[in-house]
Structure 1
């Protein structure tokens, strides 16, 4: 007598159904992974952009609050260049703990210049024995990259303050009491293929309505952020 065959396998139809279900599940898992990856890359770029802006503003604010510092009354300290895109000023304070106020502005780091160079926000400073912050290329700190606009607006000490016509020159430099700084940054030098898509067609203006960056006619896919702060120059306009 032959024993009945109790071993049973999967039929072709069952295998096809199982493969179809597995394919649907794997497709969902992959789509979810891609979505999370896009979100992560986008957030990482935004965080970098915000950190660049924050570090740049902190440096500008720290230095600008010391503009015109002249404890001995003998130093020719103050704002020397005040245009919409370039700010240069001096102080009698080289940052050292010894003889920090010596009656001149020729110690290293006592003349500061902020400007924009090919998307890099630069902090330039003088060498010892000189008052020109542009002479020594090595005396340059790149505070922030991927900057599309840097704007300075100069205000006097009135209440409310008046906007001084830019560029501020001659005796009008002595009227500057505070500086409004606006920076427009973007989230990278190139687009990230895996980041979430975005279209920027905004017009960026300062608080006076001056256009700093107009993308309405030529939108791109970068993300941008604009920050503005008004810095009181405690040693100016006294």
Structure 2
């Protein structure tokens, strides 16, 4: 406020205060409408749902990859034991143990070997049988010896175990092999699956051995499966 004494008169000039300016501006300003608020809520919900969906998708992908990694590890372990023992079948340093393949079927095998060179093949880990067995609804690859008397699990969730026995000329021998001494090599094929099913997956694959024979499938379920196959030379039998 300013005093003006011109012509002997008191003149008062009053400026609008800043508070008045602010009040004036607020009164003239426009706010959000109800439609705009609802639209903002809807957009926020869509963004949140998208982020959650992406998170769930990544989580499922990670879980599937983790299960496949575990499956691959147990399959390799199973194949390692099979290769190791079958390659030793017929080991008989003294020539007195009569070691070799005892019986050879398309889904099981029994073999003997004289590991300690004492002239027999009756000790622990010298008489070995591989086959599949059911334990509480879970199919497992079992390894049985005279010491254990029952199957010991090598790997679980194994859906197929297949053996093809090749003779001296490399041709497959009919199973069960009537004369196991003719076996010179063994083709091994195993199929394993994940422990849990994936609701968004369907296994329509057909699994075959190295001869092209179907050994499993299609299963048409939600389990992911893996096939591993190899051929093992029975070097001790080849010498006989």
Per the normalisation by structure 2, the TM-score is 0.81
**Are 1:177 and 2:198 an aligned pair?**
no
Provide closer, same or farther for how the CA distance between residues 10 and 105 of structure 1 changes in structure 2, counting only shifts above 3 A: farther
Whole-Å separation in 1 of the counterparts to 2:31 and 2:80: 69
> 8 Å contact 1:198–1:222 — kept in the other structure?
yes
Q: 1:11 aligns with which of 4, 28, 32?
A: 32
1:191 matched to 2:194? The reply is no
Task: Note if 1:168 corresponds to 2:177.
Answer: yes
Q: Which has the higher contact order (CA 8 A, sep 6+)?
A: 1
Q: Find the residue that maps to 2:88 and give its secondary structure.
A: coil
- Deviation at residue 25 of structure 1 after TM alignment: 2.0
Contact 1:156–1:237 under 8 Å retained in 2: no
Question: After the TM superposition, which residues 154-165 of structure 1 pair with which residues of structure 2 at under 5 Å, given as runs?
Answer: 154-158=165-169, 161-165=170-174
Cα distance in 2 for residues equivalent to 1:147 and 1:10: 67
Residue 15 of structure 1: CA displacement?
3.7
Deviation track 1:83-125 (CA, whole Å, cap 9, x = no partner) reads 10110001111xxxxxx22111121111110000121111111
Q: Report how many residues are paired.
A: 213
Corresponding residue of 2:162? 151
CA-to-aligned-CA distance 1:41-60 (integer Å, 9 cap, x gap): 11112112211211100111
Please, which runs of 5 or more residues in structure 2 have no aligned partner?
Answer: 1-15
Q: Secondary structure at the match of 1:72?
A: coil
Task: String of CA shifts for 1:161-183, please: whole Å, max 9, x gaps.
Answer: 111111112xx211111100011
Distance 1:103 1:29 in 2: 70
Q: 1:210 Cα shift? A: 2.4
CA distance in 1, matches of 2:30, 2:84: 77
> Highest CA radius of gyration, 1 or 2?
2
Aligned CA distance change for structure 1 residues 17 and 61 (closer, same or farther; 3 Å): same
Whole-angstrom CA distance in 1 between matches of 2:154 and 2:198? 23
Aligned-residue Cα RMSD (Å) equals 2.1
Distance 1:205 1:144 in 2: 20
Distance 2:168 2:96 in 1: 23
- 3-state DSSP of counterpart to 1:164: coil
Unaligned 5+ runs, structure 1: 94-99, 128-132
Q: Which residue of 1 aligns with 2:230?
A: 229
Whole-Å Cα distance in 2 between the matches of residues 9 and 164 of structure 1?
90
